[in-house]
Amino acid sequence: MSTAAVLDTSFVRTALGDALLHSSGPQTTFTRAVIDSRRAGPGDLFVALPGERTDGHDFAADAVARGASGVLLTHEVTGIGDNTACFLVPDALTALQTLATAWRDALPHLDVVGVTGNVGKSTTKLIAAALLAPRYRVQVNEANYNNEIGVPLCLLELRPETERAVIEMGMYTTGEIALLCRWTHPRIGIVLNVGPVHLERAGSLDVIARAKRELPESLPADGHAVLNADDAVVRAMASHTRARVWLCGTAEDADVRGTDLDRHAANGFAFTLRYQTHARRVHVPLPGAHLLSNVLAAAAAALADDVPFEAVCDAIEQLEVPTRLAIHTLPGGVTLLDDTYNASPLATIAALDLLAETPGRRIALLGDMLELGDLAPSEHARVGRYAAGIVDALYTVGELGRLLSDAARADGLANTTHCTTKDAAIDALRATLRPGDVLLVKASRGLALETVVQALRADAAGTGAAGGTDR
């Protein structure tokens, strides 16, 4: 029987080529790596990464003071006692990635499920973990730890007893997901969608598609590629993988299919899950039927990994997955859909679909969707036209937000208002909201529309707080 791997001083020293500078104390076992000294504690290996504004070396002593068991540095610093494991390397980021890869390779019984797409990665990751849990010991990467720093940190949190790791994979351009796959060795890959996100960095939709395709291309012959059958670009990736292809979606030829959809707005949705000869009606206790594609992708991954059909269905009905959408009820029965975390065309259309499912007078405050490059005008116009078919009143903010209201008005929505500031938007909403209304607030992170939500909730709480600020 093989001995379980241990992430200790000896393992790190071997992985990094005898990089140990000093450790006069006992053999140290690490439970994870951290790059923020404020999160450091016993069992942590603090990695001093250089940054644009700060240098992790300036915080190494603070990490040790908070209990960190070891530090990984590119040069010596003061405040590190001889009883703290100290590893000296030429490049901290490369060392972090090398160590993470070595640790993943030391876990031969671990299978990785990679998840990528322009919208819905984090939610799908959590749903997939929940559907795999009836059969396996599962871990997921934290928050949006989905890049060249976050994925190695995730790998170093994996325990030897973990059987499945569900890892979100992000990208800005080609080559990045392929690199993440070389570190993680996924056996199952989920591709959700391809859409206009981060175009200012990626350059084009074709680049995004090629970058996302790197996940199925990296899968082994005995692996499983879970592809969204309802996205033509993703479906076409079936010819770019050695793995078995699992189409999921509402298309008639999908291997894992959802039919007979019933929308219950914030109370979730119901559909019939179909796989081979199996069919079962399930209720999903998550807000918004736009999550159907996420649930189907996660279900396909679980079924591909031999989780029984009935166990998958049971797990779907018991889902408790946090989403970035927050739903607040204001006095008088106004429903506030707070989706201010970020925005892209795909995500905004999904949020508008949820608004359409919700009974009441439908009002939306929408703002700029950033990083769309040359497609910004056409994509804002497209979303504006889509909103025109759903909302009773549209308010917009931001330079690009004006394009939303212009397109909606041109498409026949008379009740449109462009607000030049967030304070103006707050005042306009205060004047228009009445009992029974439902309000969606959504824009890119850069607009910080959570200040609008905070102001409206402060009104509801009777605090008399002032409106938002315009920065």
Domain residues for the domain of 29 are 9-92
For residues 279 and 368, state if they share a domain: no
The pLDDT value recorded for residue 264 is 86
CA distances from 452 to 310, 360, 419 (A): 44, 21, 12
For residues 334 and 303, state if they share a domain: no
For residues 38 and 177, state if they share a domain: no
CA distances from 137 to 1, 30, 124, 308 (A): 20, 20, 18, 16
Total domains, the chain: 3
Does residue 383 lie within any of the structural domains? yes
Does residue 1 lie within any of the structural domains? no
For residues 21 and 124, state if they share a domain: no
Secondary structure class of 433 (helix, strand, coil): coil
Does residue 4 lie within any of the structural domains? no
- Nearest C-alpha neighbor of 216 from the set 246, 195, 251, 196: 246
For residues 171 and 44, state if they share a domain: no
For residues 137 and 232, state if they share a domain: yes
Domain closes at, from 294, 317, 340: 317
The pLDDT value recorded for residue 467 is 35
> What CATH number did the domain enclosing 32 receive?
3.40.1390.10
The pTM for the full model equals: 0.87
Q: How does pLDDT run across 156-211, given as a tens digit for each residue?
A: 999 999 999 999 999 988 999 999 999 999 999 999 999 887 777 777 889 999 99
For residues 262 and 157, state if they share a domain: yes
Domain closes at, from 287, 317, 347: 317
> What CATH number did the domain enclosing 233 receive?
3.40.1190.10
For the chain, 471 residues long, give each residue's pLDDT as a single digit of tens. Answer: 457 789 999 999 999 987 777 765 668 999 999 999 999 999 999 999 998 888 999 999 999 999 999 999 999 998 898 889 999 999 999 999 999 999 999 999 999 999 999 999 999 999 999 999 999 999 998 777 899 999 999 999 999 999 999 999 999 889 999 999 999 999 999 999 998 877 777 778 899 999 999 999 999 999 999 999 999 999 999 999 999 999 999 999 999 999 999 998 778 999 999 999 999 999 999 988 999 999 999 999 999 999 999 999 999 999 998 878 889 998 778 999 999 988 999 999 999 999 999 999 999 999 999 989 889 999 999 999 999 999 999 999 999 999 999 999 999 999 999 999 999 999 999 999 999 999 999 999 899 999 999 999 988 766 443 333 332
**Is residue 414 exposed (0-12), middle (13-18) or buried (19+ Cβ within 10 Å)?**
exposed
For residues 19 and 119, state if they share a domain: no
Does residue 101 lie within any of the structural domains? no
Does residue 218 lie within any of the structural domains? yes
Handedness of CA 10, 11, 14, 19 (dihedral sign): negative
Does residue 405 lie within any of the structural domains? yes
Amino acid 168 reads E
The pLDDT value recorded for residue 465 is 38
For residues 237 and 155, state if they share a domain: yes
Alpha-carbon distance 294 to 298, whole Å? 6
Contacts of 9 (CB under 8 A, 6+ apart): 20, 23, 27, 28, 70, 85
Alpha-carbon distance 50 to 410, whole Å? 50
Helices (H) and strands (E) in the chain, counts: 16, 20
For residues 399 and 421, state if they share a domain: yes
The pLDDT value recorded for residue 51 is 84
Alpha-carbon distance 164 to 109, whole Å? 9
The pLDDT value recorded for residue 321 is 84
The pLDDT value recorded for residue 470 is 31
The pLDDT value recorded for residue 275 is 99
Alpha-carbon distance 92 to 74, whole Å? 6
Contacts of 18 (CB under 8 A, 6+ apart): none
For residues 244 and 161, state if they share a domain: yes
For residues 249 and 353, state if they share a domain: no
**Is residue 314 exposed (0-12), middle (13-18) or buried (19+ Cβ within 10 Å)?**
middle
Does residue 159 lie within any of the structural domains? yes
The pLDDT value recorded for residue 352 is 96
Q: What is the DSSP string of 363-423?
A: EEEE----S-GGGHHHHHHHHHHHHHTT-SEEEEESTTHHHHHHHHHHTT---EEEESSHH
Q: What residue spans of 134-204 are helical by DSSP H? A: 150-155, 176-184, 199-202
> What CATH number did the domain enclosing 441 receive?
3.90.190.20
Domain closes at, from 264, 287, 317: 317
Does residue 311 lie within any of the structural domains? yes
